[in-house]
Amino acid sequence: MDRRNFLKISGVGGVMMALSPSIIRGKLYADDGRLFTAYEKVQLVDANGKALKATALKEEINYVFNYPFVGTPAILLDLGVQTQRDIKLFSEEGEEYIWKGGVGEKKSLVAYSAICSHQLAHPTPADSFLQYLQRGKTTIACKQKGGLVVCSSHLSAFDPSKGCKKVAGPAEQPLASIILEVAEDDTLWVSAVLGPDKFHEYFKRYKTEMKKFYGGKRKAKKWVKEHAITVVLDEYTKEIIQY
């Protein structure tokens, strides 16, 4: 592994990296800048605009918000149990990065891009092929019973307790992680994306969808600012497809 490809990121209460202290906004060019990008720091709020509280989240429930762009869905989870720590992950090009683990009192809160790293399946207001499957529930994607984020479009499965590392299916890299923070007043904030994202391909492929749901690609590509409305998946989408 080329040392230049190593970027150490902390997902707990902020960010630390080996090569650049500047995280205010924009890309960090530790290598080519693809593995970590800082965006607007925004607060997660409910549908009424009220601040979402970390301790009020229900365990193993899919919450959806759009971040870092108006048209890119992300998923928020309280796994109910402490995640593993310092997970070494790789992009499909072999670039290495470290996912430090969940946040909150139990270190069980995580957030990820909800765009599958394989063929870009994602939740929309019409349907969702990608969501977290509760522990104990079965999927034809693999033998493991739940505790997974499953994309039922092509049956890739990811472990959210390990940085959404792929555990089954054709995906060749993890889901990108959303840097999540819990403030002293229990409010939730997001500020960056860690890992290889698929935003460019996503916007290129789903031009029609961007127009239908967001008024056009240009509007969908705007950065989310100040706050992101966060709702349970059942409220976000009309139909959930789970195999």
* Interval 98-104 mean pLDDT: 95
Residue 198 falls inside a structural domain: yes
Residue 27 falls inside a structural domain: no
Question: By residue range, what is the domain housing residue 73?
Answer: 36-240
Residue 90 falls inside a structural domain: yes
pLDDT-derived band at 33 (thresholds 50, 70, 90) equals: low
Residue 196 falls inside a structural domain: yes
Residue 9 falls inside a structural domain: no
Query: Nearest Cα to 1, choosing from 73, 82, 89, 75?
Result: 89
State the Rg of the chain over Cα: 16
How many domains is the chain partitioned into structurally?
A: 1
Select the more confidently predicted residue: 209 or 18.
Answer: 209
pLDDT-derived band at 158 (thresholds 50, 70, 90) equals: very high
Peptide bond into 68 cis (omega under 30): yes
Contacting residues for 71 by C-beta, under 8 A, at least 6 apart: 203, 210, 213, 214, 217, 219, 220, 221
* pLDDT higher than threshold 60 for residue 22: no
pTM of the model: 0.88
Single-letter amino acid, residue 77: L
Residue 122 falls inside a structural domain: yes
* pLDDT higher than threshold 50 for residue 5: no
Tell me what the pLDDT averaged over the chain comes to. Answer: 88
Q: CATH number of the domain that 116 lies in?
A: 2.102.10.10
* pLDDT higher than threshold 50 for residue 233: yes
